[in-house]
Amino acid sequence: MTGTRQLSEHDRELRSIANGGLPTLAFDSATPYDDYVGTAVLHRLQRTVTDAPEELAFLVTTQVMELYFGLLRSEWQLAQRQLDEDDDAAATATIRRSVRHFEALNAAWASLSWLTPAQFNRFRDALGEASGFQSAAYRHVEFLLGNKSEALTRPHRRNPETYRELVKALSEPSLYDSVLAFLARRGHAVPRKAIERDYAADYEPSPEVEAVWVEVYGGPLAPLGEALTDLAERFSDWRYRHVMAVRRSMGAKPGSGGSNGLAWLERSMQRQVFPELWTARTLM
């Protein structure tokens, strides 16, 4: 926080008395708020490429989503560290907090829900091949949720730092992998094949893990299972709202990034995260 001086509760009380209960109005330079948030930089990042009035909403909404992707990534990595330390209470609280972040992320789609094909067409061509499919932060989020694909790291090969991060995330445990390893350490009968595996490969659901979740829901770790279920549900909401936004604004036209657009997204929706958390409910 460059230029931001820390204040104690006592400092704030004295300032309030000196100001007569009014906010401070005089500062030596930029306000502490602007300095902390980086507002000058933040508001210079909206560089539209057309004069279409709708483009600014599209760009701002996309940038907000990118910030939330980074926040979710940070929270889930923290939850993994907490699970590795066998602190299930802290990990559950972190995952629950991330569910609220996801709700806010999903709400951002409302800023584009009015976009018609005619309005989108006013600036779509000017975006060239730019596509949300190319978001490295979103790809990292999907990898942490267990939706992994080596092929989807390739668009980032010309960006060495980003590519290294994605390849690392591809080969490391997902959040669900960390949860299963934690449950195994707690004495649950998680099969070895579910833990000692190639983390870059697709996860294969198993009846043994289903049985573990049935057992978990009868004990003190049930809140962890519910936090993960809430998270999976919010992710399903995200994908559904993405599909609906695309369906509404461009129909079944080809995507800017080279895919067949809507059909690609609809196929992606079929991949469930944390699969046994859903199938185990039939056995409870």
In the chain, where are the structural domains located?
Answer: 9-41, 54-283
- Taking 90 as the threshold, does the pLDDT of residue 246 lie above it? no
Share of residues in the chain with pLDDT > 70 (%):
94
CA distance 85 to 181: 11
Lowest mean pLDDT among 107-116, 184-193, 253-262, 266-275: 253-262
Which amino acid is present at 152? L
In tens, the pLDDT along 129-149 reads 888 888 999 999 999 999 999
CA distance 99 to 51: 36
In tens, the pLDDT along 21-54 reads 888 888 888 888 898 899 999 999 999 999 999 9
CA distance 177 to 166: 17
CA distance 73 to 177: 15
CA-closest candidate to residue 268, choices 93, 148, 180? 148
In a 13 Å sphere around the CA of 125, the CA atoms on its Cβ side amount to: 4
- Taking 60 as the threshold, does the pLDDT of residue 2 lie above it? no
Q: What is the rounded average pLDDT for all residues in the chain?
A: 92
Residues recorded for the chain? 284
- Taking 60 as the threshold, does the pLDDT of residue 163 lie above it? yes
In angstroms and rounded to an integer, the radius of gyration of the C-alpha atoms of the chain is 23
In tens, the pLDDT along 64-99 reads 999 999 999 999 999 999 999 999 999 999 999 999
- Taking 50 as the threshold, does the pLDDT of residue 160 lie above it? yes
CA distance 95 to 231: 7
With vertex at residue 31, the alpha carbon angle to CA 29 and CA 34, rounded to the nearest 5 degrees, is 120
Quickly count: other Cβ atoms within 10 Å of residue 82's Cβ: 20
Can you give the pLDDT at residue 3?
Answer: 57
- Check the annotation: does 124 bind a ligand: yes
- Check the annotation: does 44 bind a ligand: no
Quickly count: other Cβ atoms within 10 Å of residue 91's Cβ: 26
Average of pLDDT values for 147-165?
A: 94
Can you give the pLDDT at residue 1?
Answer: 46
The reported pTM is 0.92
List, as one string, the DSSP characters of 170-229. Answer: HHS--HHHHHHHHHHHTT----GGGTSS-TTSPP---HHHHHHHHHHTTSTTHHHHHHHH
- Taking 70 as the threshold, does the pLDDT of residue 256 lie above it? no
Can you give the pLDDT at residue 255?
Answer: 63
**Dihedral angle sign, alpha carbons of residues 109, 244, 58, 137:** positive
Burial 17-32 (b: 16+ CB within 10 A, else e): eeeeeeeeeeeeeeee
CA-closest candidate to residue 103, choices 81, 71, 139? 71
In tens, the pLDDT along 208-236 reads 999 999 999 999 999 999 999 999 999 99
Q: How far is CA 221 from CA 91, 138, 149, 217, 267, in A?
A: 11, 29, 31, 7, 33
Looking at 1.10.10.410, 1.10.10.60, 1.10.357.10, 1.20.58.480, the CATH number of the domain 54-283 comes to 1.20.58.480
Residue 101, by phi and psi: left (phi above 0), alpha (psi -120 to 50) or beta? alpha
Specify the DSSP class assigned to residue 260: -
